[in-house]
Structure 1
Amino acid sequence: MMIALFTDFGLRGPYVGQMKARLFSSGFAGPVVDLLHDGPAMDPRAAAYLLEPFSRYLPEGAVVLAVVDPGVGTEARDGCVIRADGRWFVGPDNGLFEFVQRRAAEVERWPLPAAPEGASPTFHGRDVFADIAAAVAIGTWRSEQAAAGGPRFPDWGDDTPYVLYIDDYGNAMTGIRGEALADTAILQAGEHRLVHATTFGRMPAGAGFWHRNSSGLVEVSVNLGHAAHTFDLAPGSLVRLLRP
């Protein structure tokens, strides 16, 4: 079975490596896939809009170990295990799994007990969630009867018109589902009006546009250019809908 990792840890420090090592020391011997490690830092809500589409292409039975956890080690948040449409999710119960639950046809949810004695209060990803994710993947995890899963943050909109992630090419990914916009929609990024194109080569070199990216989200791009630099975009920048 596969375990996929989704975090805001970044790749420059020790945290991803330590969490992977804990998976293997917990008895997991299968593949570990890195979905994302530079997710919206310390922002479970923004990360939640990315986690659902990014995990959509994982095979049934895959386990997603997801950690964007600014409340780590406090009484303000619990941990949870979620089974949504045949995939498993392990991590903090802070809204990170909101859209996984909201968009799944079948959801079960298990709250996790308090962190075990000796667990680092600042690294539950390694000392709590990795052990549980490994046990789920191996098939040794046991818990009480599942509770019904579903939206826990109903005030969070189904879409959000903000830039959530900028990739190495400068493409600016928003939290708007591509299916929510018609091809005739015009967006505004900074002072620039953007029309739709299906792909980069449909636009002249240096031209900006919006498209539905490979994860199904609305993305602002520049053909043969860097949209974030061109339009002065950063995570949190607003993208306005001028014409539906």
Structure 2
Amino acid sequence: MIALFTDFGWSGPYVGQMHAVLARAGVTDPVIDLMHDAPAFDPLASAHLLAALVPSMPAGTVFVGVIDPGVGTARAPVVVEADGQWFVGPDNGLFDVVSARATDTRRWRITRAPERQSVTFHGRDLFAPVAAEIAQGGSVPGRALPLTEYPDDTAADREAIIYIDAFGNAVTGLRPPRNRIVPVLNVAGRCLSHRRTFADAAPGEALWLVNSMDLVEIAVNRGSAAEMFGLSVGSRVTWGVN
């Protein structure tokens, strides 16, 4: 399986061109549009979102990750294998959280120079063809890199909003607490209490819950948390105490 994870948006020609390249390369495995509204130009926020989505995907999935504000610059194109999952994209922090949390990782720098490579669309011209090759059992077209020693905080949770969905629910980079104490969450000067699901709060009431990606999410029952609190990607959140 190949999973596309980008900030391209759902409209325009870019996603279709990625699919066309994979089809032309003879890929017969499913190609999943995992996400095309990842935080734009923000590989670090997207890294936490990607890490939360990976566990739900089959072993051996090849992820094409393109949140690449430095496309066409000196940033390296890489392939990462982390606990049996594959990641193809720019070396700009997008794969660092997945790598730091994995038990076993390997990295390669892609050395292939395609016949056609736009300076602004490496997703189509480089990353998608490399992903197709790996998905079909080919070797990585690049040279192995030494193991990376990530700073201790790379695998840590991110105390910030990393995604806002169409309902105005604000997903944080926090995983739920693993002890029995359920703390409150500090958001924009307010302390929010935990609810198991949206309907456990009154209409218009703000809450935090654990969403389907096992991340802490700020929500308003039948409303928009983003609007209520003026939230955007990068807005800070912190745990409080009961």
- The yes-or-no answer on 1:127 pairing with 2:125 is yes
Match of residue 188, structure 1, among 181, 186, 189:
186
- 1:207 Cα deviation from its structure 2 partner: 1.1
- Comparing 29-38 with 140-149, which one deviates more in the overlay? 140-149
CA offsets 1:19-78 (integer angstroms, 9 cap, x no match) = 111111112122111111111111111111111111221111111011011111111x11
Aligned with residue 136 of structure 1, among 134, 137, 148: 134
- 1:192 Cα deviation (Å)? 2.4
- In the alignment, which residue of structure 1 is the partner of 2:95? 97
Question: Matches of 2:141 and 2:9 in 1, distance apart?
Answer: 32
> 1:101–1:151: 8 Å Cα contact kept in structure 2?
no
Structure 2: which 5+ runs fail to align? none
* TM superposition score normalised by structure 1: 0.91
Corresponding position of 2:14: 15
Q: Which amino acid aligns with 1:201?
A: A
Equivalence for 2:53: 54
Compared with structure 1, are the counterparts of its residues 97 and 227 closer, same or farther at alpha carbon in structure 2 (3 Å cutoff)?
A: same
Partner of 1:38: 37
Q: CA RMSD in A?
A: 2.0
Instruction: Give me the whole-angstrom Cα distance separating, in 1, the residues matched to 2:82 and 2:100.
Output: 9
Deviation string 1:194-226 (CA, Å, 9 cap, x unpaired) is 011121122222211111111111110111221
Q: State the match for 1:167 in structure 2.
A: 165
Alpha carbons of 1:206 and 1:91: their partners in 2 closer, same or farther (altered >3 Å)?
same
- Confirm or deny: 8 A CA contact 1:159 1:175 kept in the other structure: yes
CA distance in 1, matches of 2:10, 2:58: 25
Between stretches 66-75 and 196-205, larger displacement belongs to: 196-205
Task: Decide whether aligned partners of structure 1 residues 43 and 115 sit closer, same or farther in structure 2, where only a CA change above 3 A counts.
Answer: farther
Aligned residues: 242
The corresponding residue for 1:200 is 198
2:104 to 103, 106, 115: 106
Question: Residues 242, 133 of structure 1: CA spacing in aligned structure 2 closer, same or farther, 3 A cutoff?
Answer: same
- After superposition, the Cα gap between the structure-2 partners of 1:94 and 1:196, relative to the gap in structure 1 and judged at 3 Å, is same
Over 3 Å counting, the alpha-carbon distance change for 1:231 and 1:64 in structure 2 is same
Letter of the 1:236 partner, please give it.
Answer: G
TM-score (norm 2): 0.92
Q: Which residue of 1 aligns with 2:235?
A: 237
Q: What is the deviation of 1:180?
A: 6.1
**In the alignment, what sits opposite 1:220?**
218
Aligned sequence identity (%): 47
Structure 1 position 176 matched with structure 2 position 156? no
Residue 71 of structure 1 aligns with which residue? 70
Flag structure 1 segments of 5+ consecutive residues without an equivalent. Answer: none
Deviations 1:65-103 (A, max 9, x none): 11011111111x111111111111111111100011011
Work out the CA distance in 2 between the residues paired with 1:145 and 1:74: 19
For the 8 Å contact 2:78–2:89, the answer to whether it is kept is yes
